[in-house]
Structure 1
Amino acid sequence: MKAKTGYVFKDIRLLETALTHSSAVKAATNNQRLEFLGDRVLGLVVADMLFEKFPDAPEGEIAPRFNALVDARTCSEIGIEMQLEDLVRADSALKMRSRGSGGNYLADAVEA
């Protein structure tokens, strides 16, 4: 997973939880809480990046950029680029409906 994320997981259980969607059958835990936290961390990191990259831009100019970067579609595209589709545990029907387009389950995993 280091090759995909650039990070070595010290606790593999966190990775397993992050890659387990709430629709996964018989899963003891899922990524909802990590997704909640990750969404906030992602927002803070992206806001800081935009704040630094566009120091003179008004809020009305950087807000649309922020929204595009933290959007579920963008996170889903990142999940596809990272080839997470086969690694995420989720309901098979959900994954089949989303095949190729990523779907929110991939966005959730990226945030988690």
Structure 2
Amino acid sequence: MAFFGFFSKKEKPPEHSSFATSIFHVLGFYPTNEDLYKDALVHRSVIRNRKELSNNERLEFLGDSVIDLVVAEWLMEQFKNEPEGVLTQLRAKIVNRKNLNDCSIKMGLDKLIKTDGKIKLRNTSIPGNCLEAVIGAVYLDVNLKKASEVIQKVILGHIDAEDLISNTTNFKSRLLEWSQQEKKQIEFVISEIFESEKKLFEAEVVIGGESISKAIGKNKKEASQKASKQAVESLSIS
């Protein structure tokens, strides 16, 4: 009877450390190798004078590449007809530091980050960097599939694909937004031209009195967008 009772007992669930439980609440699973996640959440300011300890920079390097890969694959699926240049711009918009910072803070990762105590996280890129490092830790601790699931949930899950493509390909809006941020005076000069007796429109982008770009279109809107696209590329506006 004792032998039977031994097998009938419910198996005791594994005990997890408080740190592993914190990771579970943030990522939705318990880590196998806790040290990877601990390293991912240690900023270099903590170990400035303690060379024997690890920080998150190597994991950040790895996680950055994993995020780029997963986001690129997602964009390929979402926008099957967009050229490489547009996809590159879309990815840059998704993985920019502000967006990664916001994602990190929303998921509560900032509460687990260790710094020297003198740094205010919200005024730095540290939350986003740590998110990249944690993704690197997930990749090493589990696999690419699990890392992809986390990225889909915490980064891509809040993105509206239609809004993303609309805001990214509206070059005139991006140019106007940039001019406001940089406090630059911008002007769109539209003129009519004729080619083979066909009326077209030429748009010129003038910033601070300097001509930046010119383009021709079938209508004013098309010409303005083409000229704005040239200006955005010329000024390296992300």
**Corresponding position: 1:10 with 2:43:** no
1:42 counterpart (67, 73, 88) = 67
Q: Which residue pairs with 2:87 in the alignment?
A: 62
**Corresponding position: 1:111 with 2:132:** yes
Partners of 1:18 and 1:109 within 8 A in 2: yes
Amino acid at match of 1:15: Y
C-alpha distance in structure 2 between counterparts of 1:13 and 1:20, whole Å: 11
Report Cα offsets for 1:55-80 as digits up to 9, x if no partner: 11112222221001111111111111
Amino acid at match of 1:43: D
Q: Structure 1 residue 33: deviation in Å? A: 0.3
Amino acid at match of 1:79: S
TM-score for the superposition, normalised by structure 1: 0.87
Q: Which residue pairs with 2:42 in the alignment?
A: 20
Figure out how many residues of one structure are paired with residues of the other and give that number: 108
Runs of 5+ consecutive residues of structure 1 not aligned to the other structure: none
Report Cα offsets for 1:22-48 as digits up to 9, x if no partner: 111458110000000000000000001
C-alpha distance in structure 1 between counterparts of 2:35 and 2:95, whole Å: 25
* SS at 1:109 equivalent: helix
Amino acid at match of 1:22: R
Q: Which residue pairs with 2:107 in the alignment?
A: 82
* SS at 1:107 equivalent: helix
Runs of 5+ consecutive residues of structure 2 not aligned to the other structure: 1-22, 134-238
Report Cα offsets for 1:65-98 as digits up to 9, x if no partner: 100111111111111101122210012222x2x3
Amino acid at match of 1:104: S
Identity score, percent: 32
Aligned CA-pair RMSD: 1.6
Amino acid at match of 2:128: A
TM-score for the superposition, normalised by structure 2: 0.43
Amino acid at match of 1:20: V
Amino acid at match of 2:105: I
Q: Structure 1 residue 7: deviation in Å? A: 3.2
- Report which of the two has the higher share of strand: 2
